[in-house]
Structure 1
Amino acid sequence: MTKPLHVNEPVPRYGQLPPDADADLKGSLTAIRRAALRARLVAQQTGTDLIVVREGQVVRVSPLQKTTS
């Protein structure tokens, strides 16, 4: 398996958990981030774009595109 290029996707405000969040909630956020990384890897391998929401807009993004927050 190849590793995707380092991409710094902007972290939305809702991506932060409150300090008192339970372990299941913390684990689910980690799983979602892991799934997003895997989706980017598969998109790179298959030469397809990712569809993401940024600032309320649905946009098509190349998996090779580096982004900054």
Structure 2
Amino acid sequence: MIEILSPEQGQMRVTRNILHSLRHGEQMGWLIDPDERVVLVYRPDCLPDELTGDAWLPCLPGADLALTVEQLLGWLKSS
């Protein structure tokens, strides 16, 4: 699950959506905050990881994606 925080949303609401999905079988959730330039990565039964800059984003097995936080934020900015 991927959530992008917008100025109109509260982080708590978006976090609740991710946690709900994790409780119901999702294996990973990304919370992307373009203003803070950070991605929080949520996994079941773990504390979230805070990734910035040139950190590689984790993907689920079988997903063919190699992407850093900066690359992702660059895509969002250009769209």
Q: What is the TM-score of this pair, normalised by structure 1?
A: 0.33
Structure ranking higher in strand proportion: 2
Structure ranking higher in helix proportion: 1
**Relative contact order higher in (CA < 8 Å, ≥ 6 apart):** 1
Please say which structure displays the higher CA radius of gyration.
1
